[in-house]
Amino acid sequence: MQKEPSTNSKQEADVIRVFDDPCAIEARAWNALLAQQAKPTPFLRHEYLAALHSSQSAVPATGWHPRFVCVFRQEQLVAACLLYLKDHSYGEYVFDWAWAEAYQRHGLRYYPKLLGAVPFTPVPGTRLMAADASARALLLQVLPQLAAELGASSVHVLYLDAVDTKAAMDAGWMLRKGVQFHWQDPESLTNPHSTIRRWPHFEGFLASLQREKRKKIQQERRRVADAGIVFDVLQGQAITEADWDFFYRCYQTTYREHHSTPYLSRDFFARMASTMPQHWLMFVARRDGERVAASLVAIDEEQGVAYGRYWGATAHVPCLHFEACYYQPLIWCLNQGFRRFEGGAQGEHKMARGLLPVETFSAHWLAHPEFAQAVADFLEREGAGIAEYVNELEERKPFK
């Protein structure tokens, strides 16, 4: 289905269409626009979003109603935003349950809401894909209008990059801060295009840490090695269907241990193996030849970035989680000359392992003026707390 919401765009040639199936959008045009952005990630590729839909992982039956907004100028895609109409707040990682409860207490409906986020994927990056600043500004103008047409209380665009964050702020949207923990080569912070790396290998990275942090990592790694664990590192096409099957067993086990149900289906990962194999890296732990754990990392070789995603184990081995999810990926990143490893949502414990705090941003628009003001006041207080928290963390950096 395609829909053209009313807009007051000054670009009369701009045609705005809303798609309720990402598979109906031309993949080549979507990916070409993504490649032009400041911070593209594999998770915004058409193949990834189409797989979420086609595998029944993020569909209306699970509370994710696609409403992807596309702007065409003379039939060329010049702006786009993935968007979902939602009747819950699961799978987002930027928590607004308290806002929903406040609406309910006042006899108002918070759901449905519009969400601009990659389902189940708290990875910062481009969200408002645009060929230029005016097209990006148009998206921010259209989204509230679409919310009004759909009867949504609000619009939330999560894990924005710096370009999108500035555009949202300029458009008068409310900004919310969060914190994640990323490892990044220091040389790439000062010169993103430099091929020089501060740490050419893991031993050099360890040597840069404070003595107690270095000793702790060495002790944790020794416990895993003493348990007889060795790792197979599998990349791209080398990951077989049997490997994916074992990984999914581990993935399911993790959710089962938390009395929950996996967000992603086995079919989703089958589609990833088929359409995006070059973006996946798997670490499989073995003991006495038997597989006992697996972690899955997404990679972008062009950007030199790795993203920790999922893990699970069929047997308990002390410290195996740290080895599979942090140390093995870091070793791989250093060996491959990657410049950044993003450790996923939350987790202050990651600092002791060399991952440092990074602020994240989301943008919010609420239709109800009184609630919008109340949320703005809350975000100002919360933002001050986040800034203080980050300053405190900066004083506890694990490096010498």
Domains, in order of start, for the chain: 2-179+359-394 (3.40.630.30), 186-338 (3.40.630.30)
Determine the Cα–Cα distance for residues 223 and 328; give it in Å rounded to an integer.
14
Determine the Cα–Cα distance for residues 386 and 380; give it in Å rounded to an integer.
10
pLDDT value of position 274: 98
pLDDT value of position 10: 47
Per-residue pLDDT of the chain (400 residues; tens, 9 = 90+): 344 544 444 445 899 999 999 999 999 999 999 999 999 999 999 999 999 999 999 999 999 999 999 999 999 999 999 999 999 999 999 999 999 999 999 999 999 999 999 999 999 999 999 999 999 999 999 999 999 999 999 999 999 999 999 999 999 999 999 999 999 988 766 666 666 667 778 999 999 999 999 999 999 999 999 999 999 999 999 999 999 999 999 999 988 888 888 999 999 999 999 999 999 999 999 999 999 999 999 999 999 999 999 999 999 999 999 999 999 999 999 999 999 999 888 788 999 999 999 999 999 999 999 999 999 999 999 999 999 999 999 889 999 8
Determine the Cα–Cα distance for residues 3 and 53; give it in Å rounded to an integer.
19
pLDDT value of position 385: 96
Q: Give me the half-sphere count of Cα atoms (radius 13 Å) on the Cβ side of residue 63.
A: 14
pLDDT value of position 197: 67
List, as own/partner pairs, every contact residues 275-280 make where C-beta atoms lie below 8 angstroms and the sequence separation is at least 24, other chains included.
Answer: 275/47, 275/50, 275/51, 276/42, 276/45, 276/47, 276/48, 276/51, 277/236, 277/237, 277/239, 278/236, 279/42, 280/235, 280/236, 280/239
Q: Give the length of the chain.
A: 400
Determine the Cα–Cα distance for residues 45 and 30; give it in Å rounded to an integer.
8
pLDDT value of position 258: 83
pLDDT value of position 12: 59
pLDDT value of position 194: 61
Contact 62, 119 (CB under 8 A): no
User: Which H helix or E strand runs over 335?
Assistant: helix 328-336
